[in-house]
Structures are given as C-alpha cells and as structure tokens.
Amino acid sequence: MFVVKGLACKCLASVGATMKFLARLSRGGLGLLCVVLSGCSSQGGDTPQLPNMDVQSIMTEVGEQSCKKDFDKSDPNETPYLGCPGVAGYSLIVRRVEAGRQSIDVVDESQHAWPLNYQDYITPHMSSLDGKAEWRVATKDGKQVPIALIVRVQARENSANPEKVTGTYISVAKIGPTEMCVTARIPEGTKTEAEIHQIADSAQQSQCVPAQP
C-alpha cells in the first residue's frame, strides 16, 4: 500500500488487477492516476524482488580429461572420485553415489562439501553427467559470487537396456552461504535457455525440491 496525494493506492501484482483498480478510480470521478510502483514491498508472502546485479554464465568441465582423479580415504573401499575446477574459489567433486549413478558435491571457499544427491532429487535410475557444468555467477562489489549451478544429468531409466540414455534432466541448484541444494529438475526441451537462466538466477529464493519417488 502507498499514498499518492492523499489517496491510498494498492501495489498490485498483475497488470490486469492494476487496470481494474484504475478503472474503479476513474468511475468514482477521482480523476487521479494512481501510479503503481514495481518496487513496492510485498505483503502476504509474494516472491521477493531480486536486486539488480550483473549475472553471467561460466562453463567448467566435469569429465575425466579436465578433472583430477583421487580416492576417498574415509571410504573403506576407497571409492574414486573426480576433483573438478570451478569458479571464484569454488570447485566440484564428481562421485559415484551408487552403482551406475553419478552426483556432484559443491565445495565452497572454506572447502566444505555440499552434496547435491542427484540420485535422490533428479533420478533414482542409473545416470551420468554430460561433461559440463554451468555456473551462474553474479558480480557484487567487483567480486564474482556463484549463485547457482546448472548440470545436465543423463538418465538411463530402461532396466532392460541400461546403456541407453532415455532422457536428460537439467538440474538447477542454488549456491548460498548457508544452503546448497537442487531447486529445479527440468526435463530437457521443456524450457528455453533463457528460461533456465531465469530459474537459476532466482534459485536462492527457491525451496529445495522434494526427493523423487
């Protein structure tokens, strides 16, 4: 709610609602244009507005040719994993989480690993990564800050032919100072690249997705 020349005006979420509101004002003979400000504070749980910031994509590799193979010493089986480069002090760990399944851990600047658990949130079936990770990176006060990670997960959901890729899911994960998790699971081809970037750029305001059944 805001006031223009003594008139209480509503901050309305949609153009249609705004036009209806202005029409009611006109019929009432007020003859005053109520300016609807896009930056009004929301009430009642509307999606918060993101601050203006410069966001770009940076691609990194998650394949064996560009990553360093190592072994998990905390695992009695010393399961191998790949340590892969990232951006702005962040890196990635590509690991086998179950037989025939891959997932990613995001390693932050303090070297804390945040598992994304694709086997739970993207597909429970056999899967692999397509070889690249796309970081959405914001520039704040001249410093690059990763805000989201986009990875394509290739699923093999036909148990009779486990080598065949039956579909690809685009995983969007938010990267925050206190939480990292998958916030969107998008079947490939259902969203444009611009729409995927929009989803990623607002990921920090999104909830973590539930586990797949």
* 41 and 63 belong to one structural domain: no
* 98 and 130 belong to one structural domain: yes
* 28 and 97 belong to one structural domain: no
* 77 and 32 belong to one structural domain: no
Within-domain flag for 3: yes
* 31 and 14 belong to one structural domain: yes
51 pLDDT band, cuts 50/70/90, is: low
Q: What pTM does this model have?
A: 0.75
CA-atom Rg of the chain in angstroms: 23
Residue-range definition of the domain harbouring residue 192: 54-205
- The last residue of one of the domains, among 11, 26, 46, is 46
Within-domain flag for 26: yes
Within-domain flag for 211: no
User: Domain tally for the chain?
Assistant: 2
Strand partners, 183: none
Strand partners, 58: 135
Q: Are 62 and 33 in contact (CB under 8 A)?
A: no
Q: Are 159 and 151 in contact (CB under 8 A)?
A: no
* 61 and 115 belong to one structural domain: yes
Q: Are 98 and 120 in contact (CB under 8 A)?
A: no
pLDDT digits (tens, 9 = 90+) for 122-164: 999 999 999 999 999 999 888 999 999 999 999 999 988 988 9
3 pLDDT band, cuts 50/70/90, is: very low
Write down the mean pLDDT value for the chain.
Answer: 81
* 68 and 30 belong to one structural domain: no
* 191 and 105 belong to one structural domain: yes
Q: Are 26 and 18 in contact (CB under 8 A)?
A: no
